[in-house]
Amino acid sequence: MFNYSKERKWYSVYFALDIHGVISKPDYRKTIKEINYYPYAKETLQLLSKRDDIVMFLFTSSYSDEINKYMDIFKKDQIHFKYINENLEISDSNGSFGYYEKKPYFNVYFEDKAGFNPYIDWYPIYKYFKKTKYLPDKSWNHKYVETYHKYNNL
């Protein structure tokens, strides 16, 4: 994604992350809500939280009261999600890419049902962000202006 972003001179990249089966081992108890991190999930998310160019948002089917508890845990663990189940930075009203009023825009998707394996996938991501020195140019814009999706009257 960073190569793609660099090519287009986009400053921000957007990471959508599910909680259960991706960040935390699933816990179906209704009364107790906790984050039982997979190996390297917490450390990776802490690294991502330190970067201005990465915007993380939760993409979860958890209930509101559960999300509030999870967000308190993430905050205590220095993991910062900017949005929950939405990405307000990329939208049709901002003139970006397409119609994103019902589907949030993301570049990277962490979802167990889409093939993310938390027992295997967190460690190489952690290693990458631990060693990478790449940071985008701060003069690059967000993805607000595009010209290649304008419809032509035929």
Please report how the helices 118-131 and 41-49 are oriented relative to each other, as an axis angle in degrees rounded to 10: 40
* Residues 105-142: tens digit of each pLDDT: 899 999 999 999 999 999 999 999 999 988 888 888 76
How many beta carbons lie within 10 A of that of residue 75, not counting itself? 11
* Per-domain residue ranges of the chain: 12-131
Q: What is the pLDDT of residue 148?
A: 53
Write the single-letter amino acid at 53.
Answer: D
Q: How many residues does this entry show for the chain? A: 154
Residue 148 token pair: 């290649």
Q: Of all residues in the chain, what percent carry a pLDDT higher than 90?
A: 60
Q: What is the pLDDT of residue 150?
A: 53
Between 144 and 121, the more confident residue is 121
Which residue, 112, 17, 23, 29, is CA-closest to 66? 29
CB 60 within 8 A of CB 19: yes
Q: Tell me how far CA of residue 56 lies from CA of 36, 37, 74, 83, 146, in angstroms.
A: 19, 17, 12, 7, 22
* Residues 4-34: tens digit of each pLDDT: 888 888 888 999 999 999 999 987 766 778 9
Place of tokens 């952690």: 126
Domain 12-131 has CATH 1.10.1200.10: no
* Residues 79-113: tens digit of each pLDDT: 999 999 999 888 766 655 677 778 898 999 999 99
Given a cut of 50, whether residue 153 has pLDDT beyond it is no
